[in-house]
Structure 1
């Protein structure tokens, strides 16, 4: 009975806040407040408050057993060993493949990216024109060169 009263009071308060937000012409905020305001009444009417209380009670019981029961600690150790074994086998598999990424490229032995051409086969970069007298625009010489190439 008290749970229902609190749920509907929270819903009414949320709807009031949504009304104030709508009065101030903040439509999105008003709709969000209205949506959140409907949650307590919906949870009460569907009977989910006792479920939440049961879940909270079970979590509290588990936490108390975690502190005082050695079987829970043994279970945590087993979970940690399992996670370590799974991660270790994944690491070992990657190491056997030579750090190749999984996929069709690794299965066929072909490289995932095309090979980069040899630097000797590439043309040499063009020499820059001789530097002019310092006119205060020395930092913009690269930009000037690019603009000249483009005919600007």
Structure 2
């Protein structure tokens, strides 16, 4: 009987707050308050208050053991180590430092690039000391027979050369 009184008193208080919010024309907030206000009555009518009490008792027992039982502290340390290892491996995996699937004894050959992102470097080296003006230099543009300057393939030749140098 006391549980029913408590549940319906909480529901009535929540509905009153929702009504005040609606009176002030804050309808979204009023709807949220009304939804939360219905929870105690719903929990009582479905019989879930005893379950909630059991869960509360178990959490209280765990908290007492947390303070006085060294096994619980050992478990917490193990959970922290596990979480630290997972975060560290995720971070190193994103940096490309950890390479999975490659044998440690086989050295990386130029034909098989290493796993991970490519190092940040310019695609085409600028000429010695002079800033790049966007025009390709004579060193970086390969000369091909049969292709003239007016056919629009000069840019593709540069790209092909870069890809070939990187082994792609």
TM class by shorter-chain length?
0.5 to 0.7
Q: How does 1:2-151 map to 2 (within 5 A)?
A: 2-83=2-83, 86=86, 94-97=96-99, 107=115, 111=118, 115-120=122-127, 122-123=132-133
Q: Give the Cα separation in 2 of the matches to 1:58 and 1:46.
A: 21
Change (3 A) 1:92 1:47: same
- Measured after TM superposition, the shift of residue 38 of structure 1 is 0.8
Which TM-score applies when normalising by structure 2?
0.52
Gap runs ≥5 in structure 2: 100-112, 135-168
What is the deviation of 1:46?
A: 1.9
Cα–Cα, structure 1 residues 79 and 23, in superposed 2: closer, same or farther, change >3 Å?
Answer: closer
Indicate the structure with greater helix content: 1
Partner of 2:109: none
Normalised by the size of structure 1, how large is the TM-score?
Answer: 0.56
Indicate the residue corresponding to 1:143 in structure 2.
Answer: none
Q: Deviations over 1:85-117 (max 9, x none)?
A: 5566667775344xxxxxxx964x773889443
In structure 2, distance between residues paired with 1:81 and 1:8: 46
Q: CA RMSD in A?
A: 3.4
